[in-house]
């Protein structure tokens, strides 16, 4: 029996101790009519060897691709040590550190992670993580509404924030009577346009870089939010913080809350997760922050130790009045992130950021030299760039795919006003040869399609 | 010692540094960082040794019996991890087209079908990333259902007082108010109180079955009938699904919507507090509201459903397909267990719980519900011991740590004074359970003869009992070196 150690003798002895004659007797309180029959859709169990073979076949079917898609999830090198240590049973198979004395490993690690995140973001406090970047942004919006002194239930959301993240935010907050007002962007610069008459709002979301890779004027946006009585909610790519200004230093007094996607810090792309959302804030707002928080304290002998703290905010104490229904963090992925930030250090993270940026710039220069390809925006970008094609984006991406290249994220559905636009990302993992290959293939595809347009009747 | 204490200016894990390349001069100076973030400057060995040492300060399933009630701490098969981490799976970008992920998506689709079958629901979405996230999706669907029918006066969710705290917190997040109903002396929902509570304001009832008290709600069909007749929907909190996996299906009980905790029932790792996965299942009438993406099978081509496929969806819960890698581990677990293995989960989890309960009862421990069968877990109350000796459930739990056992859940559910909620799971052997009983007996004897010994526990762990009050009053949430 897979993962059940009982021998027939064990079962008989245990039933005797209980005073039952069969295992079925133990279910005698369940009305007979409710008992289910055989599970029709569950296949027969297989040995580990057979399942291994099956999964290897499926993995091989998916294969490897030369990936130039970013859009919130970034392909960075992950040091081998990280997941070897992270999947040690003591981390992998432990639970939420309720028994602090028996969980000092996880608790200290989270405290170190919180410290690293405050240093990256330039804010005072960090929680132990949330589910992912999109849901962390939704929680930041809820937090801003709780913390806002003017009791406004309106939050300003630039359209330059990841389109799916915006959907997640709306799905999360809409039942609480919170309005998400979207802000347009300038199609020449790719930067958010601040309205002249914003009305009252609890917070302004400020992405840096924004979904297009464009640098927003975060200083002006932060000050503008504060001038109008709202909180400044930063959402950032953590890798960029090695070289871009920390949200705590934005504008005159800094952003108030920062939330984002932690995936670039050691989590594999893995079709979407698990990743983790990070959240940091100024000291004034700590008690409004959702999720687990670890604090340092002392034990009975005065020796330093770590424990979950500020639990009075949480659902198991506050029930319907809690700051959020969240119980878990993404502990295991944060275990990886703390090691990633330690292994890279300030020097390594800056090199990852610079190399990604340099590679993106090099590729953008190569691609925009091709007839029919141009940059969409004139503004400075970091690590990612929007290119406009004079041909149908989905067809071009499909043709690149036939050459093993995932050429970028198709923006036409979310941003039809940009025409045939794709969002292209290059990280430090790509070589000059990879960039050459992309450029050569794109040039070939575009010129071939120009010379011999595909038949309109052929799909 | 913190990782920061190992830091020395200029030290690097050199093999991890990408070559220096390019300049950042095209980025305007005003947006550039002025001072580098103070991350640790350490060697690779420093990192590996520091975090390996930290890991050894944890209790875990791989190192200890971990009978934490309501958390289903069963063995996490290693193959689930190694196969979910095959390099092609890890390398796949979530926005890569479906054509490039047919292997991955076929696994996801099969898991979705397996989850439908074991829960008896008409549809499943695997978008939610944790149990509470699944609860949110479930209650949001209840609201979407009523709202779509113009039935907008329903603004109240009924929750038993024994419920997990996430239930009322979730109802609030969905814009509902919460009405609590009491539990009777046998640990069951008070039917008369339920009848009095339902009405035209009732949006739904959230229920865990077996309940958080470790007993099966025997009048479940009648309970759901009361809610349905009042026009409400019934939500199944899947926290205790391990107790009935392969035995009873929530859909057959009559529930309209459920969430599952795959990190419990499908043995994906708890990881020190996550990541989890909290798929939701629904009955026919809630199908239009399922969160996206779903995994669809179009004649053998697997693809992720979008807004166009599910126009009345409550929307998206995450930027991608939830915690995909956790779902993959659950799928592999399901393939290893198979149909017969699924049926055995509830059987042996229940056998172990009832055996442990019988042994502890014989050893003089008081059960909260002595007349009832245990489900996959049960409650011991130490009220009399506390009255006699001053030793609390918390003291008892801490002393168990000295004996090498992770403590059961303490002080939950809140209804039972000085309680220990004990869940052994099906993967533990009889000898392990016997060893735990011996430790419980020994600690009880210590409490009776030398209570101060138990009150001072633990003694053998990296730290002794921690000052939680200081932690909350003098907040130290991030390390600041002395100036």
B216 contacts in chain A (CB < 8 Å): 29-30
Q: Which of B96, B350, B456 sits opposite A65 (nearest CB)?
A: B96
Distance from CA of A409 to the nearest CA of B (A): 7
Predicted confidence (pLDDT) at residue A327 exceeds the cutoff of 70:
yes
Measured in degrees and rounded to the nearest 5, phi and psi for residue A29 equal: -85, -10
Interchain contact, B130 vs A34, CB within 8 Å: no
Q: Answer whether B366's CB lies under 8 Å from B381's CB.
A: yes
Which residues of A fall within a CB distance of 8 Å from B460?
A: none
Q: Under a CB-based contact definition with an 8 Å cutoff, are residues B58 and B30 in contact?
A: no
Position A314 scores a pLDDT of: 76
For testing the chain B interface, which of A8, A54, A55 should be mutated: the one with the most B CBs within 10 Å?
A55
Residue B35 in contact with residue A122, Cβ under 8 Å?
Answer: no
Angle between helices A8-18 and B324-362 (to 10 degrees): 50
Does the distance separating the beta carbons of A59 and B89 come in below 8 Å? yes
Q: What is the Cα–Cα distance from B111 to B126, expressed in whole angstroms? A: 9
| Distance from the B406 Cα atom to the nearest Cα atom in chain A, whole angstroms | 8
Given a cut of 60, is residue B406 above it in pLDDT?
yes
State the Cα–Cα distance between residues B237 and B178, nearest whole angstrom: 16
Tally A–B CB contacts below 8 A: 681
Q: Which chain B residues are closer than 8 Å to A295 by Cβ? A: 471-472, 475-477
Residue B351's alpha-carbon distances to A326, A361, B277, B374, in angstroms, are 32, 63, 27, 9
Structure tokens at B157: 């969710």
pLDDT beyond 50 at B464: yes
- In terms of CA atoms, which chain B residue is nearest residue A361? B22
**Nearest residue of chain B to residue A315 (CA atoms):** B165
- The verdict on a CB contact (< 8 Å) between B468 and A69 is no
Give the nearest partner residue to B3 out of A73, A319, A342, using CB atoms: A342
Cβ <8 Å between A69 and B96: yes
Distance CA B180, CA B162 (A): 9
Are A34 and B248 an interchain contact pair (Cβ–Cβ within 8 Å)? Answer: yes
Residues of A in contact with B172 (CB under 8 A): 320-322, 325
Alpha-carbon separation of residue B445 from B364, B389, B460 (angstroms): 11, 11, 19
Average pLDDT score over residue span A397-408: 98
* List of residues 6+ apart from A151 with CB closer than 8 A: none
Q: Is the pLDDT of residue A379 over 80?
A: yes
* Bridge partner residues of B158 (DSSP): B179, B205
Look at residues B347, B312, B282 and name the one whose alpha carbon lies nearest to residue B126: B282
Pick from B1, B22, B64: nearest CA to B428 = B64
CATH of A80-339, one of 3.30.2320.80, 3.40.605.10, 3.40.50.460, 3.40.640.10: 3.40.640.10
Q: Which residue has the tokens 């034990």?
A: A299
Domain ranges within chain B, ordered by starting residue: 79-337, 339-467
Could A315 and B344 be called an inter-chain contact, meaning their C-beta atoms sit closer than 8 Å? no
Structure tokens at B292: 């996206």
Q: Could B103 and A349 be called an inter-chain contact, meaning their C-beta atoms sit closer than 8 Å?
A: no
User: Do A48 and B336 lie within an 8 Å CB cutoff?
Assistant: yes
Residue among B81, B104, B248 minimizing CB distance to A35: B248
- Token duo for residue A148: 């806002």
Residue A459: per-residue pLDDT: 45
- B56 is written with which tokens? 């050894």
Contact B339 A131 (CB under 8 A): no
Assigned token pair, A448: 């071939």
Q: Which of A42, A300, A395, A431 to mutate to test the interface with B (most CBs of B within 10 A)?
A: A42
Average pLDDT of the residues in A357-377:
97
CA distances from A382 to A102, A165, A370, B238 (A): 43, 20, 21, 44
- Taking 90 as the threshold, does the pLDDT of residue A317 lie above it? no
Nearest Cα of chain B lies from the Cα of A191 at a distance, in angstroms, of: 14
Closest CA to A186 of A378, A364, A372: A378
pLDDT the model gives residue A455: 67
Instruction: Give, rounded to a whole angstrom, the gap between the first and last alpha carbons of chain B.
Output: 18
CA distance B156 to chain A (A): 12
pLDDT score of B9 more than 60: yes
Cβ distance A347 to B34 less than 8 Å, yes or no, reads no
Average pLDDT taken over every residue of chain A: 95
- How far does A90 lie from chain B, in Å, by closest CA? 5
Q: Do B51 and A380 touch (CB under 8 A)?
A: no
B79-337 fold: 3.40.640
Q: How far apart are CA B435 and CA A165, in angstroms?
A: 50
Do the Cβ atoms of B113 and A41 come within 8 Å? yes
Burial B442-464 (b: 16+ CB within 10 A, else e): ebbebbeeebebbbebbeebbbb
Cβ–Cβ below 8 Å for A339 and B321: no
Instruction: Tell me which residue of B23, B6, B137 sits closest to A359, measured CA to CA.
Output: B23
Please tell me which residue, B451 or B246, carries the higher pLDDT value: B451
Q: What is the mean pLDDT of the segment spanning B142-169?
A: 95
Mean pLDDT confidence for A50-76? 98
User: What distance, in Å, lies between the first and last C-alpha atoms of chain A?
Assistant: 52
Tens of pLDDT along B337-357? 999 999 999 999 999 999 999
Nearest CA in chain A to B362: A17
Tokens of A9: 């003798």
* Residues A446-459 pLDDT 10s: 999 998 877 665 44
Q: Is the pLDDT of residue A311 over 90?
A: no
- Over residues B400-410, mean pLDDT: 97
Nearest C-alpha of chain B: how many angstroms from A190? 15
**Which residue among B93, B97, B322 places its CB closest to the CB of A73?**
B93
- Asked if B478 and A89 come within 8 Å (Cβ–Cβ), the reply is no
Answer whether A320 sits within 8 Å of B171, measured CB to CB. yes
Contact A442, A396 (CB under 8 A): yes
User: How many helical (H) and strand (E) elements, i.e. helices and strands, does chain B have?
Assistant: 16, 13
From A313's Cα to the closest Cα of chain B, the distance in A is: 11
Tell me which residue has tokens 């430790």: B439
Write the burial class of residue A121 (CB in 10 Å: 0-12 exposed, 13-18 middle, 19+ buried): buried
- Select from A64, A73, A100, A105 the residue whose CB has the most chain B CBs within 10 Å, as the one to mutate to test that interface: A105
Radius of gyration, alpha carbons of chain B: 25
* H or E element at residue A384: strand A384-389
- Collapsing DSSP to helix, strand or coil, A61 comes out as helix
Q: Give the mean model confidence (pLDDT) for residues A128-133.
A: 96
The domains of chain A are located at 66-73+347-448, 80-339
As a whole number of angstroms, the distance between CA A247 and CA A227 comes to 17
Pairing of strands A294-298, A154-158: unpaired
pLDDT of B236 over the 50 cut: yes
Average pLDDT over residues A172-192: 96
Q: How big is chain A by its Cα radius of gyration, in Å?
A: 26
Q: How far is CA A315 from CA A301, A323, B182, in A?
A: 31, 7, 19
CB–CB of A124 and B55 under 8 A? no
pLDDT reported for residue A457: 57
Using a CB-CB cut-off of 8 Å, the residues of chain A touching B160 are none
**B182, burial (CB in 10 Å: exposed 0-12, middle 13-18, buried 19+):** middle
- Please tell me the CATH code under which domain B339-467 is placed: 3.90.1150.10
- Report pLDDT digits (tens) over B383-392: 999 999 999 9
Do the chains contact at B175 and A175, CB–CB below 8 Å? Answer: yes
User: Which of B12, B97, B133 lies at the smallest CB-CB distance from A131?
Assistant: B133
Query: pLDDT tens digit string along B186-197?
Result: 889 999 999 999
Query: Which CATH number applies to A66-73+347-448?
Result: 3.90.1150.10
Q: How far is B309 from chain A (nearest CA, A)?
A: 15
Instruction: For residues A323 and B166, give the distance between their C-alpha atoms in angstroms, rounded to a whole number.
Output: 11
Kindly determine whether residue A303 and residue B120, on different chains, have CB atoms separated by under 8 Å: no
Separation of alpha carbons B399 and B402, rounded Å: 5
Contact across the interface for A135 and B44, Cβ inside 8 Å: no
| Region B89-117 average pLDDT | 98
- Check A406 against B96: CB less than 8 A apart: yes
Q: What percent of chain B has pLDDT over 70?
A: 100
pLDDT at B227 over 60: yes
| Tokens representing residue B212 in the block | 């958080």
Q: Which residues pair with A214 in a beta bridge?
A: A381
Kindly report the number of other CB atoms within 10 A of residue A453's CB atom. Answer: 9
CA distance B93 to chain A (A): 5
| Mutation site, A270, A332, A408, interface B, largest B CB count within 10 A | A270
When pLDDT is cut at 50, 70 and 90, the band that residue B336 belongs to is very high
State which H helix or E strand residue A257 sits in. strand A257-261
User: Are A355 and B107 within 8 A, CB to CB?
Assistant: no
Could you say which DSSP state residue A239 is in? G
Q: Which of B8, B14, B20, B37 to mutate to test the interface with A (most CBs of A within 10 A)?
A: B37
Under 8 Å between Cβ of A133 and A275: yes
Question: Is it the case that residue B86 has pLDDT exceeding 80?
Answer: yes
From chain A, pick out residues whose CB is under 8 angstroms from the CB of B79.
Answer: 48, 51-52
3-state secondary structure of A365: helix
In the prediction, which pLDDT does A36 show? 83
Q: What is the mean pLDDT of chain B?
A: 96
**Which helix or strand (DSSP H or E) is residue A281 part of?**
strand A277-281
Q: Is the pLDDT of residue B470 over 90?
A: yes
Q: Which residue has the tokens 């100036």?
A: B483
- In this prediction, residue A456 carries a pLDDT of 61
Q: How many CB atoms lie within 10 A of CB A27?
A: 21
The region, left, alpha or beta by phi > 0 then psi within -120 to 50, assigned to residue A291 is left
DSSP class of residue A245 equals P
């Amino acid at each position: 029996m897979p993962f059940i150690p009982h021998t027939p003798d064990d079962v008989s002895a245990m039933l005797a101790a209980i005073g039952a004659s069969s295992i079925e007797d133990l279910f005698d309180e369940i009305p007979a009519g409710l008992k289910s029959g055989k599970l029709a859709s569950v296949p027969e169990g297989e040995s580990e060897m057979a399942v291994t073979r099956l999964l290897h076949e499926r993995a091989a079917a998916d294969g490897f691709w030369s990936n130039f898609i970013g859009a919130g999830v970034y392909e960075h090198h992950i040091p081998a040590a990280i997941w070897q240590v992270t999947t040690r049973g003591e981390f992998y198979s432990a639970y939420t550190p309720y028994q602090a004395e028996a969980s000092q490993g996880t608790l200290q690690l989270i405290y170190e992670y919180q410290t690293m995140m405050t240093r990256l973001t330039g804010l005072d406090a960090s929680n132990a993580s949330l589910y992912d970047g999109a849901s962390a942004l939704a929680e930041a919006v809820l937090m801003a509404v709780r913390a806002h002194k003017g009791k406004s239930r309106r939050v300003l959301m630039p359209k330059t924030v990841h389109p799916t993240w915006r959907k997640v935010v709306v799905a999360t907050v809409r039942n609480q009577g919170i309005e998400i007002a979207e802000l347009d962007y300038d199609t020449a610069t790719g930067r958010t346009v601040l309205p002249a008459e914003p009305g009252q709002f609890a917070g302004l979301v400020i992405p840096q870089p924004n979904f297009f890779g464009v640098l927003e004027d975060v200083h002006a946006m932060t000050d503008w939010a504060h001038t109008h009585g709202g909180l400044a909610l930063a959402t950032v790519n953590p890798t960029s913080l090695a070289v871009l200004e920390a949200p705590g230093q934005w504008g005159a007094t800094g952003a108030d809350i920062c939330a984002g996607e932690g995936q670039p810090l050691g989590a594999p792309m893995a079709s979407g997760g698990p990743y983790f959302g990070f959240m940091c804030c100024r000291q004034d707002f700590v008690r409004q922050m959702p999720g687990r928080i670890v604090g340092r304290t002392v034990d009975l002998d005065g020796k330093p130790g770590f424990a979950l703290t500020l639990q009075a905010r949480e659902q198991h104490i506050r029930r319907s009045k809690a700051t959020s229904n969240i119980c878990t963090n993404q502990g295991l992925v944060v275990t990886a992130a703390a090691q990633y930030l330690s292994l890279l250090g300030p020097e390594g993270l800056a090199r990852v950021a610079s190399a990604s940026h340099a590679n993106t710039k090099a590729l953008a220069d190569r691609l925009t030299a091709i007839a029919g390809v141009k940059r969409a925006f004139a503004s400075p970008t970091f690590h990612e760039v929007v290119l406009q094609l004079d041909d149908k984006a989905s067809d071009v991406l499909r043709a690149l795919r036939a050459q093993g290249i995932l050429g970028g994220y198709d923006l036409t559905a979310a941003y039809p006003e940009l025409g045939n636009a794709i969002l292209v990302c290059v990280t430090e993992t790509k070589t000059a040869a990879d960039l050459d290959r992309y450029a050569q293939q794109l040039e070939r595809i575009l010129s071939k399609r120009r010379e011999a347009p595909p038949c309109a009747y052929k799909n | 010692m913190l990782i920061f204490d190992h830091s020395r200016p200029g030290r690097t894990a050199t093999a991890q540094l990408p070559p220096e390349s390019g300049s950042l001069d095209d980025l305007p100076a005003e947006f550039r960082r002025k001072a580098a973030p103070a991350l640790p400057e350490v060697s690779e060995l420093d990192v590996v040794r520091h975090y390996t040492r930290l890991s050894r300060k944890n209790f875990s399933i791989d190192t200890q019996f971990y009978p934490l009630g309501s958390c289903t701490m069963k063995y996490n098969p290693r193959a689930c991890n190694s196969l979910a981490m095959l390099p092609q799976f890890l390398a796949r970008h979530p926005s890569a087209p479906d054509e490039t992920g047919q292997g991955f998506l076929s696994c996801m689709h099969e898991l979705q079908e397996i989850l439908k079958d074991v829960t008896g629901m008409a549809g499943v979405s695997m978008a939610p990333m944790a149990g509470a996230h699944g609860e949110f999706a479930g209650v949001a669907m209840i609201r979407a259902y009523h709202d779509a029918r113009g039935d907008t006066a329903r603004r109240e969710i009924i929750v038993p007082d024994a419920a997990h705290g996430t239930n009322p917190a979730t109802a609030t997040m969905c814009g509902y108010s919460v009405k609590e109903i009491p539990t009777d002396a046998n640990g069951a929902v008070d039917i008369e109180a339920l009848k009095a509570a339902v009405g035209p304001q009732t949006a739904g009832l959230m229920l865990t079955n077996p309940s958080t008290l470790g007993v099966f709600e025997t009048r479940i069909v009648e309970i759901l009938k009361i809610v349905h007749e009042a026009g409400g929907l019934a939500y199944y909190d899947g926290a205790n699904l391990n107790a009935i996996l392969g035995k009873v299906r929530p859909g057959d009980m009559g529930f309209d919507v459920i969430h599952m905790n795959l990190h419990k029932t499908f043995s994906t790792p708890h990881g020190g507090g996550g990541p989890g996965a909290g798929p939701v299942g629904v009955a026919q009438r809630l199908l239009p509201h399922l969160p996206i993406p779903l995994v669809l099978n179009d004649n053998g081509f697997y693809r992720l459903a979008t807004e166009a496929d599910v126009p009345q969806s409550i929307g998206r819960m995450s930027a991608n397909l939830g915690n995909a890698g956790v779902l993959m581990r659950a799928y592999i677990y399901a393939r290893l267990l198979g149909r017969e293995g699924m049926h055995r989960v509830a059987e042996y989890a229940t056998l172990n719980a009832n055996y442990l309960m019988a042994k502890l009862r014989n050893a003089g421990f008081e059960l909260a519900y002595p007349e009832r069968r245990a489900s996959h877990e049960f409650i011991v109350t130490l009220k009399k011991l506390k009255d006699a000796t001053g030793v609390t459930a918390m003291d008892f739990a801490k002393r168990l740590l000295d004996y090498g056992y992770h403590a059961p859940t303490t002080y939950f559910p809140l209804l039972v004074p000085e309680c220990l909620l004990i869940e052994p799971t099906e993967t533990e052997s009889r000898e392990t359970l016997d060893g735990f009983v011996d430790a419980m007996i020994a600690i009880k004897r210590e409490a009776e003869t030398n209570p101060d010994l138990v009150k001072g526990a633990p003694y053998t762990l990296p730290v002794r009992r921690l000052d939680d009050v200081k932690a909350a009053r003098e907040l130290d949430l991030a390390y600041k070196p002395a100036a």
